[in-house]
Amino acid sequence: MTPPPSGQQFSIGLGDQRAVIVEVGGGIREFRVAGRDVLEPYDVAAMADGGRGTALIPWPNRLADGAYRFDGVDHQLPLTEPAKRTAIHGLLRWRPWRATDAHENEITMRTTLHPRKGYPFHLDVAICYALSDDGLTVTTTATNLGDTAAPYGCGQHPYLSPGCGRIDDAVLHFDAATRIVTDPDRGLPVGTEPVRGTPYDFTTPKPVGALVFDDPFTDLARDADGLARVRLRGDDGAVAELWMDDSYPVVQLFSADTLAPSRRRTGLAVEPMTCPPNAFRTGDGLIRLAPGATVRTTWGARLVRT
């Protein structure tokens, strides 16, 4: 039997919750509750399209020209978007990860990022996926195994599901004060603007409509637990919610308009990120990971029935 493109599949479950984690990229292929998708899945016989569910390490989003300077040394990474002259979403999306600490409702995926041209740093990376009565919790841990400081950022690329149909009629609710304005040709930051009163203001829930998203947002409103939340209510009245702790100060929303026709606007990517695009060049939000140091970041998802 031909193995799936995403490699070995690891299922975890709790009650009526089920998630499938994959070997390739250490990402999440599906998460559903009582048969209703919370995160939009991709088929087991397909590759992850549009970054679906993958981990974005050691940088999320785009890096201009794949080039950066760190501690006085210039580095050049391969251009994974040649037409835009950018390197996008890190180095681990297509690497095999190994499963450790597997339990019925929890699994940890782990990989080692060895020094390489363009990123001569040494990281141990683990992602723990755990189901509880509160839904899915995803904790990413990175440890610097090297003897010099390393530049680091991370994110993940899940898509909230409207349940069925497209996102246009789904009701979106999230509260961010600032949109990071990006160059439409390359997706790189060129400034910021207040969200209030613009088409991107979803402080009061409203349908997504025809609005096209491929935008980072920051200055996120947080609850008493320090969590920022993005909610998408489908026609069935159920709400797919993604939350992120304060280690993620930026969230990218992407409406998938550039994907294959059958996949356009069928889910809303909600990407928690520790830094904005191009952070390796600008230093904005970049984590300086000291030798032996560990950084931990957490996001999660759940289905709320209304």
Strands 135-144 and 294-304: antiparallel
pLDDT band of residue 59 (cuts 50, 70, 90) is very high
Tokens of 142: 């990175």
**Could you tell me which residues are beta bridge partners of residue 228?**
244
Q: Give the span between the Cα atoms of 268 and 101, in whole angstroms.
A: 31
Q: Give the span between the Cα atoms of 169 and 167, in whole angstroms.
A: 6
Q: Give the span between the Cα atoms of 290 and 188, in whole angstroms.
A: 27
Widest Cα–Cα separation across the chain: 55
Task: Quote the distance between the C-alpha of residue 250 and its chain's center.
Answer: 11
CATH of the domain spanning 9-304, picked from 2.70.98.10, 3.40.640.10, 3.40.50.450, 3.40.50.300: 2.70.98.10
Map tokens 């041209």 to a residue: 117
Put residue 115 in one of left, alpha, beta given phi > 0 → left and psi -120 to 50 → alpha: beta
- The H helix count followed by the E strand count for the chain is 1, 27
pLDDT attached to residue 146: 97
| pLDDT digit string, tens, across residues 228-277 | 999 999 999 999 999 999 999 999 999 999 999 989 999 999 999 999 99
Q: Give the span between the Cα atoms of 147 and 33, in whole angstroms.
A: 44
Q: Give the span between the Cα atoms of 54 and 48, in whole angstroms.
A: 8
Domain ranges, ordered by start, for the chain: 9-304
Map tokens 């970041």 to a residue: 297
| pLDDT digit string, tens, across residues 107-140 | 999 999 999 999 999 999 999 999 999 999 999 9
pTM: 0.96
Task: Quote the distance between the C-alpha of residue 187 and its chain's center.
Answer: 16
Q: Element (H or E) spanning 281, and its range? A: helix 279-282
